Amino acid sequence: MSQAIVTRYHPLARALHWVLALAIVGNFLLGVYMADLPFSPARLQYYSWHKWAGVLVLAFSAFRALTRLMSPPPAMPQHIEAAMPGWQKLAHHATHIGLYALFFAVPLTGWAFSSAAGFPIVLFGVLPLPDFVPVSESLADVLKEAHELTAFAMAALVLLHVAGAVKHQVVDRDGLMNRMGFGRS
């Protein structure tokens, strides 16, 4: 199919998309790497970095959600939507809803886990953040599991999102990726 002109997302939405993408993937990889390290000063530093990145992901996600409410995304180009089977449209919407939910669920369960485990978050080593659950070993165990499950669920949805984007770029060649890309349209 020849590429028709597609309406692009606002530059701020594109910037937030890519900043969050890098932060989420990087923080996920750091979390997987550090989880099985033996206790050491390096491991403690990685945990601090992971928490700081999680707080930043949460803040950027809130800002992204707010900007999306104030400036809704452009409509899917008609030629692309018409070519998509119903299951792809459903997968597209479900993936985006799931990702937005997990943008909040993953860092919040991590923050709650840290609070319940008795390890407060001190952002950049200078700004102590409030604990919003009491210290409790049993609660920490549940929240650790919830944090891991939501993080791996987000990783799966990110892979699905990327696979869909690659399919549109390589198989369909419909220009859909231009909506979120850099440079001129």
DSSP secondary structure of 22-69: HHHHHHHHHHHHHHTPPSSHHHHHHHHHHHHHHHHHHHHHHHHHHHHH
Average pLDDT of the segment spanning 117-142: 95
Q: Residue 172's pLDDT is what? A: 77
| pLDDT category of residue 173 using cuts at 50, 70 and 90 | confident
Q: Tell me, what's the pLDDT at 72?
A: 87
Residue 14 has pLDDT above 80, yes or no: yes
| Residue 2, domain member (yes or no) | no
Is 174 part of any domain? yes
Token pair 């020849």 is found at 2
pLDDT of the residue at 18: 94
Asked whether residue 22 is domain-assigned, the answer is yes
> What is the domain-level CATH number for residue 26?
1.20.950.20
Q: What is the pLDDT of residue 6?
A: 65
Residue 128, strand partner residues: 122
Say how far residue 98 (Cα) sits from the centre of its chain: 10
Establish if 48 belongs to a structural domain. Answer: yes
Higher pLDDT, 101 or 78: 101
Please report the sign of the dihedral spanned by the C-alpha atoms of residue 59, residue 64, residue 65, residue 69. Answer: positive
* Structural domain count of the chain: 1
Cα–Cα nearest to 156, from 92, 99, 88: 99
The pTM for the full model equals 0.89
Question: Alpha-carbon distance 62 to 153, whole Å?
Answer: 20
